[in-house]
C-alpha cells in the first residue's frame, strides 16, 4: 500500500462526518426520506472507505469479525420487537395499538417500533456491508 497523505488525511477527516450523516439518516428514518437501510449503507460505506485507504487489517481493528457477527444477528431484535405486539395481545409487529409509545408526530423520538426497527436495520446493513466487502476482498486460497 502506497503512502498517500492526501487520500489518508481526507479519508480520516471525512469518516466521522460520513458516519454522523449515516446516523442522522437512520435516526430520522421515520421523518425524512431514508431509514435503516440507507443510513446503514452509508455507515457501511465509511467502513469500506477506511479499509480501502488504510488496508484491511486496520479496518479489522475498528470493527472485528466477532463484533460484526453479533451485529449481523441484530435482526434478531427485529423479530423480538415484532413479538412485543404478540405479547401485548395484538398482532406480530403491532406498533401503536400494542401500546408502544409513539410520541408526537414529527418529533425525533416518535414512531414507536419503527424508530427501533430502523436502528436495528441500520446496524445490520452497516455490518453486512462491511462483511461483504471483506468476504469479497480477502484473498483466501483454497
Partner 1 sequence: MSINRHFPVLIVVAPLLASYLAPMLWRWQRRLVKPIVLSAAALSFSMSLSTALQVLRSGPVSYHVGSWEPPWGIELYVDYLSAYMAVVVTAVGLLILIYATEYAEKLVDEKNRGLFFTLALLLIAGLTGMVVTGDVFNLFVFLEIASLASYALVPIAGKKGSKGRFEASFRYLYMGAIASTFILIGIGLAYMATGTLNMADMARLLPEARQEYPRLIVASLGFFIVGFSIKCALFPLHLWLPDAYAHAPMPVNALSSGLTIKVMAYAMIRLFYSVFGIGFVSGTGLLSALQVIAGTAIIVGSLLAITQNDVIRILAYSSVSQIGYIILGATLVTKDGLAGSLLHILHHSVMKGAMLLAVGAVIYKTGKRDIRDYRGLGKRMPYTMGAFSIAALSMVGIPPLTGFVSKWILLLGTVEAKSYAFTFVILASSLLNAVYYFRLINYIHFKGETAGEVDEAPPAMLIPIIILGLGAIFLGVLAGLPLTIIWKAVASAGL
Partner 2 sequence: MIHEALSQYNYIVSSTLFLIGLYTMITRRNLLKKIIGLNIMDTSVFLFFISMGSVEGGRAPIVIPGAEDVVYVNPLPQALILTAIVVAVSVTAFALALTIRLYEDYGTLDADRIRELRERGT
What is the C-alpha end-to-end distance of the chain, expressed in Å? 24
Check binding of 136 to partner 2 (CB under 8 A). Answer: yes
**Least Cβ distance, residue 35 to partner 2 (angstroms):** 8
Using CB under 8 A, which residues numbered 50 to 79 contact partner 1?
Answer: 66, 69-70, 72-73, 75-76, 79
Burial class (CB in 10 A: 0-12, 13-18, 19+), 7: middle
Instruction: Output the nine-digit C-alpha cell for 49.
Output: 472507505
Q: What are phi and psi of 141, to 5 degrees?
A: -70, 135
Residue 37 binding result from partner 1, partner 2, none, given CB thresholds of 5 to 8 Å by partner type = partner 2
Check binding of 13 to partner 2 (CB under 8 A). Answer: no
Smallest CA-to-CA distance from 119 within 31, 37, 15 is with 37
x/- string (CB under 8 A) for partner 2, residues 32-61?
Answer: xx---x------------------------
Check binding of 5 to partner 2 (CB under 8 A). Answer: no
Amino acid at each position: 500500500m502506497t503512502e498517500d497523505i492526501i487520500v489518508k488525511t481526507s479519508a480520516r477527516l471525512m469518516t466521522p462526518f460520513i458516519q454522523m450523516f449515516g446516523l442522522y439518516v437512520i435516526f430520522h428514518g421515520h421523518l425524512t426520506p431514508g431509514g435503516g437501510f440507507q443510513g446503514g449503507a452509508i455507515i457501511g460505506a465509511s467502513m469500506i472507505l477506511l479499509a480501502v485507504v488504510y488496508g484491511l487489517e486496520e479496518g479489522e481493528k475498528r470493527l472485528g469479525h466477532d463484533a460484526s457477527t453479533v451485529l449481523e444477528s441484530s435482526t434478531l431484535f427485529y423479530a423480538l420487537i415484532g413479538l412485543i405486539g404478540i405479547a401485548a395481545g395484538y398482532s406480530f409487529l403491532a406498533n401503536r395499538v400494542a401500546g408502544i409509545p409513539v410520541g408526537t408526530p414529527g418529533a425525533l423520538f416518535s414512531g414507536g417500533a419503527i424508530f427501533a426497527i430502523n436502528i436495528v436495520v441500520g446496524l445490520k446493513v452497516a455490518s453486512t456491508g462491511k462483511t461483504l466487502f471483506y468476504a469479497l476482498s480477502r484473498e483466501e486460497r483454497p
